[in-house]
Chains A and B, each alone.
Chain A
Amino acid sequence: MKSEFRRADYVAVKGGETAILNSYQLLAEQRRGDHALPELSVPQIQQQLKLAVDRVMNEGSVYDSELAALAIKQASGDLVEAIFLLRAYRATLPRLGTSKPLHTERMQLDRRVSATFKDLPGGQVLGPTYDYTQRLLDFTLLAQGESAVPAVKPNAPVVMSESSFTPRVVDLLNDEGLIETRPIPPGDPAPVDLTREPLRFPAVRSTRLQNLARGDEGFLLAMAYSTQRGYAHSHPFVGEVRLGSVELEIEPEELGFAISIGDLEITECEMVNQFAGSKTEPPQFTRGYGLAFGHCERKAMAMSLVDRALRADELGESIESPAQMQEFVLSHSDSLEASGFVQHLKLPHYVDFQSELELIRKMRAATEVTP
């Protein structure tokens, strides 16, 4: 039935501002949930949702677990939204300086796993990992009880490394000359900072690594996975994955020597890949590198596989698969860019759609005339 709508009744949609303010209110209520339950505190998130906090610190590019936890709380646990909040916060912060390169061989290890050698200097350290948990829901947690897992005995061999220096697997291989070396280029040029300068192609490796470090974990995971399924084969081995704390040093110009400004918890992955050699290079192992704030093994490993795939050009391999294509990978890795542009389709497109309506009608009219 036709409603009694006359053109005099039509008014352009108004009241957008009230609707927006009301949506804030509804969002706040949704975030808080049932008031009968105690409100989640930021320190609780910081302490008890560590892996979520670590992911937000990584892709948010800010090493601050309190701010990351705050972002997670504010975003109701939507990590991509939390990453957005943290990135928007950091965008206008001043840059005070550049750190010295990290010495990850001096890392205080919490975990260190190599898939290439059964035993090696510094040893294998299992540390905290879900790897060998049997994925059974633990209903004692549901009952707010203590988990049945026995507490770690003091002096138990969880951390076997006592020395403050644990050489990296790639350095051990390097002693035999079997793996490529990446010496610091002459003059040690400052890397491009993608947060200050736009990404340009072709991008050098340090720029690519910065992009991947900020890249969406899910995207990198899928890209890395594709290299294992025939889209750019790279014969990867985990040289090692290590997790632990490492000293961060800066060297202020006026001082002339390095000072430590604190410790970072990081995950580092060195992937070792077969390389058949080229006209200029003998057969040797090549490397893919992954580094992440906090405990993010999936991210660091995926990053190292994608890093290696993106070196196809430099190593003279043919570029056939998406993971090898710089423009494909680096232009689509950022969750903020991807999420924003996909979701902008929610915005009004009346004008463009109107134009397309006219076009489709015109095309249909043309085909009806000439059947």
Chain B
Amino acid sequence: MNAPMKTENLTPATHGEDDVQSHFNFAYLDERTKRMIRRAILKAVAIPGYQVPFGSREMPLPYGWGTGGIQVTASVIGPDDVLKIIDQGSDDTVNAVNIRRFFQRTTGVATTTRTVDATLIQTRHRIPEIPLAEGQVIVYQVPVPEPMQRLEPRETETRTLHGLAEYGLMHVKLYEDIARYGHIATTYDYPVLVNDRYIMAPSPIPKFDNPKMHMNPALQLFGAGREKRIYAVPPYTSVESLGFEDHPFEVQRWDAACALCGATDSFLDEVITDDAGTRMHVCSDSDYCQSRQAVEPGAQA
């Protein structure tokens, strides 16, 4: 039923670090599984923001650690792709390193940390600061694909609400925030309306990144392995963060600049630098920070 299919043109690449490639198919998944996932992706692209159920497989990495993103990446990656993997904006956090290593071992494709050089970017919790271009694909790792899950845990109910475009529940939640705190108290995974139809979870990116999704020239794919859903935002699709006329959506702003590159337009992480709790702000996007430092060496030293 699911016998491995012959892959004609996908010769294993040469610069893998061990013999994993001789034991497993290119990009680990068997070709029938990839085909099943690609069909789900095609459906997702055809219905922007709609969550397509798919037969998520157990991957050799744990559920909740990026298995949805990994399955999507494994299904679309080809030998000529240049892959970038980030977690929290950085290429160097252990989970990003681990996933990158997984694809190096199973595909042998070239990897990069540079956003502009990548054809395929898998991310957890950030969108790169450098705008994406046509032809690039960004794959988001999604823990909870259902934006209303915390309001209504039953999938049978939320499915109906999506079907009827009945999103009062979400708007009431945002309104209650305003009534209670004076502003919308959601800072990440901030709900968006895609193509004027489906409310979608953008994955736990900070709301700072939400505007980058709107009319983005790149193809945006979302994989939720544990919850077994795939969804997509095709290039140049409207992505509107929810808000009200008198309380419009707004993003975080910092009083500080990046201590390393001086950027004032990027998402900044606070870093505690000594026992006394002294803090500094640095770019969460390590590639953005490094490329700015390379252009202006010692700009802030």
Interface on A for B, CB 8 Å cutoff? 1-3, 5, 7-8, 10, 12-17, 19-20, 84, 87-88, 90-92, 94-97, 195-202, 327, 331, 336-337, 339-344, 347-352, 354-359, 362-363, 366
Contact of B58 among A15, A91, A96, A347 (CB under 8 A): A91
Cross-chain contact B182 with A16 (CB below 8 angstroms): no
Q: Chain A interface mostly helix, strand, loop or mixed?
A: helix
Report the bound CA distance from A348 to B66 in whole Å.
13
Among A12, A15, A363, chain B packs the most CB atoms within 10 A around the CB of A12
Interface on B for A, CB 8 Å cutoff? 1-4, 24-25, 28-30, 33, 53-60, 62-65, 67, 87-90, 92-98, 101, 124-126, 143, 153-156, 181-183, 185, 187-188, 204-208, 226, 228-229, 252, 259-260, 267-271, 273-276, 278, 280, 282, 284, 286, 289, 300-301
Report the bound CA distance from A88 to B69 in whole Å.
16
Among A3, A7, A199, chain B packs the most CB atoms within 10 A around the CB of A7
Cross-chain contact B207 with A355 (CB below 8 angstroms): yes
Cross-chain contact B94 with A343 (CB below 8 angstroms): no
Known A-B contacts A91-B58, A92-B28; A351 and B89 likewise in contact (beta carbons under 8 Å): yes
Cross-chain contact A340 with B93 (CB below 8 angstroms): no
Closest B residue, CB atoms, query A202 = B156
Q: Which residues of A contact B205 (CB under 8 A)?
A: 351
Contact of A351 among B3, B183, B206, B278 (CB under 8 A): B206
Extra contacts, 11 of them, besides A195-B55, A327-B153, A352-B204 (Cβ < 8 A), are: A16-B92, A20-B98, A84-B62, A95-B1, A341-B226, A351-B204, A351-B206, A351-B269, A355-B187, A358-B187, A366-B182
- Nearest Cβ on chain A to B158's Cβ, whole angstroms: 10
27 inter-chain pairs at a CB distance below 8 angstroms, sorted by A residue, are A3-B275, A5-B274, A5-B278, A10-B282, A13-B90, A16-B98, A88-B60, A90-B58, A95-B2, A196-B2, A198-B54, A336-B62, A337-B64, A340-B65, A341-B64, A343-B64, A344-B62, A349-B125, A350-B269, A351-B204, A351-B267, A352-B187, A354-B206, A354-B284, A355-B188, A362-B183, A366-B182
Q: Which residues of A contact B267 (CB under 8 A)?
A: 351, 354
Cross-chain contact A12 with B55 (CB below 8 angstroms): no
Report the bound CA distance from A84 to B98 in whole Å.
18
Which 9 pairs, one residue from A and one from B, show the smallest C-beta to C-beta distance? A340-B63, A344-B64, A355-B187, A340-B62, A16-B97, A198-B228, A341-B64, A340-B64, A95-B1
Closest A residue, CB atoms, query B274 = A3
Closest A residue, CB atoms, query B283 = A12
Contact of A16 among B54, B94, B300 (CB under 8 A): B94
Known A-B contacts A344-B143, A352-B206; A2 and B54 likewise in contact (beta carbons under 8 Å): no
Q: Which residues of A contact B28 (CB under 8 A)?
A: 92
Q: Chain B interface mostly helix, strand, loop or mixed?
A: loop
Cross-chain contact B275 with A351 (CB below 8 angstroms): no
- Nearest Cβ on chain B to A205's Cβ, whole angstroms: 17
Report the bound CA distance from A345 to B207 in whole Å.
20
- Nearest Cβ on chain A to B150's Cβ, whole angstroms: 14
Q: Which residues of A contact B156 (CB under 8 A)?
A: 201-202, 327
Q: Which residues of B contact A90 (CB under 8 A)?
A: 58
- Nearest Cβ on chain A to B249's Cβ, whole angstroms: 14
Report the bound CA distance from A3 to B275 in whole Å.
7
Among A3, A10, A202, A350, chain B packs the most CB atoms within 10 A around the CB of A350
Report the bound CA distance from A357 to B12 in whole Å.
46
Q: Which residues of A contact B126 (CB under 8 A)?
A: 351
Cross-chain contact B269 with A354 (CB below 8 angstroms): yes
Among B57, B183, B300, chain A packs the most CB atoms within 10 A around the CB of B57
Contact of B53 among A10, A96, A200 (CB under 8 A): A200
Report the bound CA distance from A52 to B250 in whole Å.
54
Closest B residue, CB atoms, query A14 = B92
Contact of B95 among A195, A340, A348, A355 (CB under 8 A): A348
Cross-chain contact A7 with B300 (CB below 8 angstroms): yes
Q: Which residues of A contact B92 (CB under 8 A)?
A: 12-16
